[in-house]
Amino acid sequence: MKRAVLGLVVLVFGLVAAAEPCLIVGMIIGGTKDDAGYNQSQYEALMALKEKMPCVEILFAENVPAGEAEAVLESMILQGAKLLFPAGFAYMFPALNVAKRHPDVIFMHPGGYMLADNFGTYFSNVQFAYYLLGVAAGLMTKTNKLGFIGGMPTAFVLGNCNAFHLGARAVNPNVTTYFVVTGAWVDRAKEVAAAQALIQQGCDVIGSHLDSPIALAQTCCEAGVFYVGYPSLAVQKFCPEYWITGLGLSWGDFFVEVAQQVLAGTWKPEHVRRGLEAGFITLGEFGPKVPEEVKKVVLEFKEKLVSGELQPFAGPIRDQEGNVRIPEGTAWGPLDMGKFDWLAEGVVGSPK
Amino acid sequence: MSWFLSWISGAILYAAPILFPTLGEAVEQRAGMVNLGLEGLMLLGASLGFAVSFGTKNPWLGVLAAAGAGLLANLIYAWLVVHRRAHQLAAGLALMFFGIGMSALIGKPYVGQMAPVLPKYAPTGPQSLLFRYDPLVYVAFLLAPLFWFLLFRTRFGLRLRAVGENPAIAYAAGVSPSLIRYIAAALAGTLAAVGGAHLSLGITGTWSEGMTAGRGFIAIALVIFSRWNPLRAIVGALIFGGAVVLQLQLQARGIGVSPFFLDMLPYVLTVLVLLVWGRGVRHVAPASLGRVYFGTE
């Protein structure tokens, strides 16, 4: 509603008018493209597509509220778009409505659970990669107290917190992780307050699952505690000194793959979920204060994760009450990540 | 004990950005104007302040620019309700949407940017590390008694309150209701925008769209809660700031309280205050609050 007032800023990065584009690709995002977070990662993937396939024409709109998504998508189709990325979870149903009206246009939606003949989904296996941030945090902490700030207590957030904690415990069994929810994906003032509360608690490494942890990074720098970044590597510039490492959503190559499939007519609707091994998510550079031994261990874990030798969610894993949630001999895979409604043993905080 | 102190320290910090708009709105309502546009004014201050600090590398110029913009924007509101005799609620909502849109437009290039922020100072003493604040925090808490004095101990305050109670009689007594209302609106606009600038330049050091997250409305609730008294506004703002910090600190200690419940708290308190005092013999709300003054000429 708020953003409706601003109006829509539709930027058309057109080719020279004479050149006929091989494919017109459209994207809408809910925030701004420079948020050093989720929206920026979507936009960067689109730009990577443009760079690798110069014949593609890009249509792009930011700050699109879910209520206006249908209208914007329709206007992109009017301009000839044949591949659309409604790049926000909230666009799932609006985009599906538009997809029904335009069976000749392909839709790719991030993180959703709906499929149609011309509607597929994509996302990264974030939780598995987040385990690596935990490993790094477990090695870097002096107080053995880690903090984790979530926007909302959703399954994916709880999964990331659990992965962070389990990764840390794998290298440092004494670690306790303190989990705090702000109640909003973006509320910078509360993010600062949450970080301060965790720092006062003694936490000296902080992980997060927010739209963009810019304010958190700055708070860490001020207090002199470490942090790991997600979902965009761009956040490290806000506090390079105390940056350990981070994860960036990276879909550029996949967007190229999809565009080529659409052009070749081989595209199929499916839930595409890939991880580090496919470049769907990228482990960032290490910060200046990270010792060589730590880097080495983290990269070893990464190798095992990529090869499939390491299963971060292999049982037995207990929850806070000590109940076995993942029994011995079984392991949760990418499709189980929506099932987290609990926090692992050793995490302090409420999953509700 | 250290836990208690860190809670108090946080409560004070997060009370400040809400105390600014609350004080302004209290003055404005005392002059008979309800301004629902605070949220927009705060956002305008937050984004323009950040933009100017980014451009000039001086956060104080940012605060100054925010104050000026808030003042001007609220004078538009005052012009609408005083001279154009617009409905106050409608004009306030229009101002809010104007502020939301304008702030997004101004702030657009500054999303994901860094700007110089306000320096922090601490009073000397054993707990000085815990109570390190940017100067605007001190300013907010000093302004409250100042505004109380202005409203209740000066001739200007008496006139302002008279305009809020009955502009016709105030006019008959030789006071210009229009002038008073313009001054009140100017003060309120300035304060609301400075409150917003405190969020972007004092607390978070970033600009993000809609970053006030409803604080402009909490301020309106706090005015009612504090019964139009700047000193009680301190209490209201501290309760709000304390609730925000408390729920996060409780979570960090493993005591689960729903953040959504605590976010509701200021409104629940306001409703309770209205319940308790609303039926009182003499209502404290300015009698002409929200009414259009059609002039006595």
Say whether pLDDT at A86 is over 80.
yes
- Span B128-155, average pLDDT: 92
Same domain for A139 and A244, yes or no, is: yes
Say whether pLDDT at B117 is over 50.
yes
Hey, what's the torsion of the CAs at B69, B75, B78, B82, to 10 degrees?
A: -170
Same domain for A191 and A333, yes or no, is: yes
- Span A87-106, average pLDDT: 95
Say whether pLDDT at B3 is over 90.
no
ipTM over 0.85: no
Sheet holding A145-150, edge to edge: A281-283, A243-249, A226-229, A205-209, A145-150, A176-181, A347-348
Query: At CA A234, angle to CA A229 and CA A236, rounded to 5?
Result: 55
With bands split at pLDDT 50, 70 and 90, how would you rate the model's confidence at A13? Answer: very low
Confidence at residue B231, expressed as pLDDT on a 0 to 100 scale: 95
* Residues on chain B touching A1 (C-beta within 8 angstroms): none
Q: pTM for the whole thing?
A: 0.85
Same domain for A26 and A66, yes or no, is: yes
Same domain for A14 and A108, yes or no, is: yes
Per-residue pLDDT tens over the stretch B148-197: 999 999 999 999 999 999 999 999 999 999 999 999 999 999 999 999 99
Does residue A20 form part of some domain?
Answer: yes
Q: Is B293 helix (H, G, I), strand (E, B) or coil?
A: coil
Task: Name the domain boundary from A124, A147, A163.
Answer: A124
Does residue A266 form part of some domain?
Answer: no
- Span A23-37, average pLDDT: 92
Same domain for A15 and A43, yes or no, is: yes
Same domain for A158 and A202, yes or no, is: yes
Q: Is A242 helix (H, G, I), strand (E, B) or coil?
A: coil
- Span A257-266, average pLDDT: 96
In angstroms, the CA A56 to CA A33 distance is 19
* Residue range(s) defining the domain that contains residue A143: 126-248+282-348
Q: What is the CA radius of gyration of chain B?
A: 19
With bands split at pLDDT 50, 70 and 90, how would you rate the model's confidence at B288? Answer: confident
The residues, any chain, with a CB within 8 Å of residue A268's CB and separated by 6 or more, are: A120, A261
Does residue A255 form part of some domain?
Answer: no
Say whether pLDDT at A7 is over 70.
no
User: Could you give the count of Cα atoms lying within 13 Å of A17 in the half-sphere of its Cβ?
Assistant: 0
Does residue A198 form part of some domain?
Answer: yes
Say whether pLDDT at B227 is over 90.
no
Count interface pairs A-B at CB distance under 8 A.
128
- Span A14-19, average pLDDT: 48
Task: Name the domain boundary from A124, A156, A176.
Answer: A124
Does residue A55 form part of some domain?
Answer: yes
Q: Taking CB atoms and an 8 Å limit, are A180 and B97 in contact across chains?
A: no
User: How many domains, in total, are found in chain A?
Assistant: 2
| CATH architecture under which domain B2-113+135-278 falls | Orthogonal Bundle (1.10)
Contact map slice: B 127-156 vs A, CB within 8 A: none
Q: Please state, rounded to an integer, the average pLDDT across all residues of chain A.
A: 92
Q: Taking CB atoms and an 8 Å limit, are B259 and A181 in contact across chains?
A: yes
Confidence at residue A17, expressed as pLDDT on a 0 to 100 scale: 46
The set of long-range contacts for A274-277, using a CB threshold of 8 Å and a minimum separation of 24, is A274/A124, A274/A125, A275/A124, A275/A125, A275/A128, A275/A129, A275/A305, A275/A334, A276/A125, A276/A128, A276/A129, A276/A302, A276/A305, A276/A306, A277/A306, A277/A308
AA letter at B120? K
Chain A touched by B276 (CB under 8 Å)? no
Same domain for A164 and A181, yes or no, is: yes
Same domain for A105 and A138, yes or no, is: no
Contact map slice: B 236-255 vs A, CB within 8 A: 244-245, 248-249, 251-254
Same domain for A135 and A146, yes or no, is: yes
Same domain for A105 and A131, yes or no, is: no
Confidence at residue B128, expressed as pLDDT on a 0 to 100 scale: 63
Confidence at residue B279, expressed as pLDDT on a 0 to 100 scale: 59
What would the two tokens of residue B286 be?
A: 């300015």
Closest chain B residue to the Cα of A177, Cα to Cα: B252
Q: Taking CB atoms and an 8 Å limit, are B112 and A186 in contact across chains?
A: no
User: Could you give the count of Cα atoms lying within 13 Å of B186 in the half-sphere of its Cβ?
Assistant: 7
Q: Taking CB atoms and an 8 Å limit, are A35 and B112 in contact across chains?
A: yes
- Span A187-193, average pLDDT: 92
Task: Name the domain boundary from A124, A157, A180.
Answer: A124
Does residue A341 form part of some domain?
Answer: yes
Per-residue pLDDT tens over the stretch A283-304: 999 999 999 999 999 999 999 9
In chain B, where are the structural domains located?
2-113+135-278
CATH number of the domain that residue A92 is part of: 3.40.50.2300
What would the two tokens of residue A308 be?
A: 């499939």
> Higher confidence at residue B291 or residue A288?
A288
Confidence at residue B255, expressed as pLDDT on a 0 to 100 scale: 78
A160's enclosing H/E stretch is helix A155-171
Percent of chain B with pLDDT over 70: 92
The residues, any chain, with a CB within 8 Å of residue A321's CB and separated by 6 or more, are: none
Same domain for A60 and A160, yes or no, is: no
* Residues on chain B touching A181 (C-beta within 8 angstroms): 251, 259
Say whether pLDDT at A25 is over 90.
yes
Confidence at residue B293, expressed as pLDDT on a 0 to 100 scale: 82
Q: Taking CB atoms and an 8 Å limit, are A197 and B252 in contact across chains?
A: yes
- Span B8-37, average pLDDT: 95
Q: Taking CB atoms and an 8 Å limit, are B10 and A6 in contact across chains?
A: no
Say whether pLDDT at B248 is over 90.
no
Say whether pLDDT at A11 is over 60.
no
Same domain for A16 and A113, yes or no, is: yes
Q: Please state, rounded to an integer, the average pLDDT across all residues of chain B.
A: 89
Confidence at residue A6, expressed as pLDDT on a 0 to 100 scale: 45
Confidence at residue A108, expressed as pLDDT on a 0 to 100 scale: 97
With bands split at pLDDT 50, 70 and 90, how would you rate the model's confidence at A331? Answer: very high
